[in-house]
Amino acid sequence: MITYEWGTSFGTDPEVVSLLRDAADFDAEQGFSAVQPVPAAGTDGAPPGRVTELVARMSDEVGAVGSPDGEEAIVAFLRITSQGDGTATTEFVVGPEYRSLGIATLLFEELGLARGGAARWAGEGVRSLRAWAHGSHPAAERMARRFGAVPEDASWRIIRPMHRPGSVPEPEPPAGVDLRPLHPESDTAVVAALADAEKDGRGAGRVGPEVLVAVEASGEVLGFVAYSSHPLAGEAPDGPGSVHLLAPPTRGEAHAVSRALLAAALKRLAEAGVREVEMSVDPLDEPLVRACRSVGFHHDQTDVCFSVPVDAPAAVA
């Protein structure tokens, strides 16, 4: 039996925090992003949007996974963040020990998603729900078909092994271009770009990245790269390093500058002892993909963003 409760903040509930941490640890090896107990603030610390959360509980009548004292255990967590533009992002986690039991299907049927009932709980003015499926998992594709979701966007996770000595390229930037660390006081446009990336989910989460900036002799910023010795999903100490964001130049020798920024970031990560680096890229951004391949990145998995309309009934297979 599944029961659920709506709220606005379950992030301080110890059982919810434990479920999210267990899921993050379990999924880290696959490169899945972690859901944080408290949603990240937007640019300049602004609220992330209208947040609605749900916890699902299951009694020990189902399978052999109930709480040992006979009480209901929290088995899943759902967060919906309305963006104010008619869309809402969805984060959903089932506890590792409760997976493959049909909990997600049962919960969404209970909520009414299969009957177009998402409008009742997604919030007034929301026209579609968006959710990312990492790695094109067959279960996610089956869920999408069942509830009428359609692919809307895609992202590649690319990786760069670092275990071979001397394997990191060392291309120099073009003549007249230098690489230097970020100066937050003067590089305000870079700081703003990083804040926007964080808001869009492309930032570093709880771990602040290091930033290298490419500048002309005049001091004008051409582009930058943000990287970290921690993985994209969180703070796992034994996980891969990551390149969080590459902002290439919009003019001049863009490929050469991008390649130099990436190579410099890889070199610093290698010096920090990182043995593998991950990055998420738009597969349709050909210049970015080409720059990443030129320094040794290769495709690892494809993540797909599904969209579910909430104003019309979804088709049920």
* 307 Cβ neighbours under 8 A, 6+ residues apart: 128, 129, 130, 149, 150, 151, 152
Q: 293 vs 26, 138, 186, CA distance in Å?
A: 29, 28, 32
Residues 129 and 244 in one domain: no
Label the pairing between strands 128-133 and 298-309: antiparallel
Residues 63 and 113 in one domain: yes
Residues 144 and 110 in one domain: yes
Signed CA dihedral, 83, 80, 143, 139: sign only: positive
Please tell me the distance from the alpha carbon of residue 245 to that of residue 198, in angstroms, as a whole number. Answer: 10
Q: Is residue 76 part of a domain?
A: yes
**Nearest CA to 139 among 315, 257, 306, 14?**
306
Q: Which domain holds residue 284?
A: 170-295
* 3 state SS of 45: helix
Could you tell me what percentage of the chain is helix, strand and coil, using 3-state DSSP and rounding each to the nearest 5? Answer: 30, 30, 40
Question: In the chain, how many domains are there?
Answer: 2
Residues 11 and 149 in one domain: yes
**Nearest CA to 67 among 111, 18, 28?**
18
Residues 109 and 180 in one domain: no
Residues 142 and 198 in one domain: no
Q: Is residue 226 part of a domain?
A: yes
**Nearest CA to 131 among 75, 105, 93, 84?**
93
Residues 189 and 121 in one domain: no
Residues 211 and 275 in one domain: yes
**Nearest CA to 94 among 102, 82, 85, 86?**
102
Q: Which CATH number do you get for residue 86?
A: 3.40.630.30
Write the DSSP symbol of residue 184.
Answer: T
Per-residue model confidence as pLDDT tens for the chain (317 residues) = 789 999 888 878 899 999 998 988 887 766 666 788 877 655 444 556 788 899 999 875 544 444 455 578 999 999 988 877 788 888 888 999 888 888 888 888 888 776 566 777 777 778 888 888 876 666 777 778 777 788 888 889 999 998 765 677 777 899 999 999 999 999 999 999 888 877 655 554 444 689 999 999 888 999 999 999 887 765 555 678 999 999 988 887 999 999 999 999 999 999 888 989 999 999 999 999 999 999 999 999 888 888 887 764 444 44
Residues 8 and 146 in one domain: yes
Please tell me the distance from the alpha carbon of residue 227 to that of residue 239, in angstroms, as a whole number. Answer: 14
